[in-house]
Amino acid sequence: MLSLLEACEDYIDRFRGIRISTRPDYIDDEVLMLLKKYKVTTIELGAQSMSDEVLLYNKRGHTAKQVKDAVALIRLYGFSVGLQMMTGLYKSTPRTDLYTAKEFVKLRPDCVRVYPTVIMKQTRLADLYKSGEFVSYSLDESVELCSEILSIFYENNIDVIRVGLHYSDSLINNSLGDNYHPAFKELCESKILFDKVNNQLSNCKNINIFVNPSSVSKMIGQKRRNISALNAKGYTAEVLPDNTLGKYEVRVEEHRHR
């Protein structure tokens, strides 16, 4: 740790700060004083779950209380704090994962990352998966769940800086199941927008859907998935930009021919 921090020391003024990631149970006064000395600005904790049962079964080596204690101590020293969670771990359920998200909200982190569990070959989790003891979420189940989790964080003004793993050939070649997609966050945001449209549908079958300009492609969906789903319900829809709408805000209006 010290050798890495010392290597940054001569260059620190060129950057806004240093962001690190560590385990909740590695946080104590001594570590935090050192990190402060070397001008670390943000500490992210690999909390993963706020269920002690899930943490125990996945051999994480820490408890939910240690996450809470670490967040409090990090804040006491004036650092920004981030929390990382994994959905779909062994012995977890959608209800448990939603509980984790809500417990994160109570801790008021400055940012969060959400990672759906991807099973890597030659691991204990892979053995459990092959034996049938561990049943992984499907991609659609993960999108459904994580879209709800994203909405929880967005509604509570918590910045989500990453959803899903970065693409790599190694990840694709050494993983099992179908719970991975290179554009996972976009799938989740597309689902959020579709659900909001669904809640505003009426008997009028010709509609205009207004969204923030940055959300137009997400509203249309990958391979026009959302538009096709609306077509299947009997609706003809056009997606239009509206700068007055927020990131996940949607307005549905009847399409009027001039």
- Residue 51 has a pLDDT of 98
- pLDDT category at 129 given cuts 50, 70, 90 is very high
Q: What is the pTM of this model?
A: 0.92
pLDDT at 57 over 90: yes
Q: How many CB atoms lie within 10 A of CB 209?
A: 26
Report the pLDDT averaged over residues 120-132.
Answer: 96
What digits encode the pLDDT tens for the residues 238-257?
Answer: 999 999 999 999 999 998 76
- Residue 131 has a pLDDT of 97
- Residue 33 has a pLDDT of 97
Helix axes 94-107, 139-155, angle to 10 degrees: 20
Match 């600005």 to its residue by tokens.
41
pLDDT at 44 over 70: yes
What values do phi and psi take at 115, rounded to 5?
-120, 110
What digits encode the pLDDT tens for the residues 150-199?
Answer: 999 999 999 999 999 999 999 999 999 988 999 999 999 999 999 999 99
- Residue 69 has a pLDDT of 98
- Residue 16 has a pLDDT of 86
- Residue 114 has a pLDDT of 98
Interatomic CA distance for residues 22 and 62, integer angstroms? 12
- Residue 256 has a pLDDT of 72
pLDDT at 34 over 90: yes
- Strand partners of residue 22: 45
* CA 43 to chain CA mean position, Å: 17
Residues 112 and 152 sit within 8 Å (Cβ to Cβ): no
Dmax (CA) of the chain: 70
pLDDT at 30 over 80: yes
Residues 124 and 76 sit within 8 Å (Cβ to Cβ): no
Pairing of strands 119-120, 175-176: antiparallel
Average pLDDT, the chain: 95
pLDDT at 258 over 80: no
Residues 107 and 99 sit within 8 Å (Cβ to Cβ): no
Report the pLDDT averaged over residues 55-81.
Answer: 98
Helix axes 94-107, 64-76, angle to 10 degrees: 20
Q: Which domains does the chain have, with CATH numbers?
A: 2-182 (3.20.20.70), 200-254 (3.40.1260.20)
- Residue 257 has a pLDDT of 60
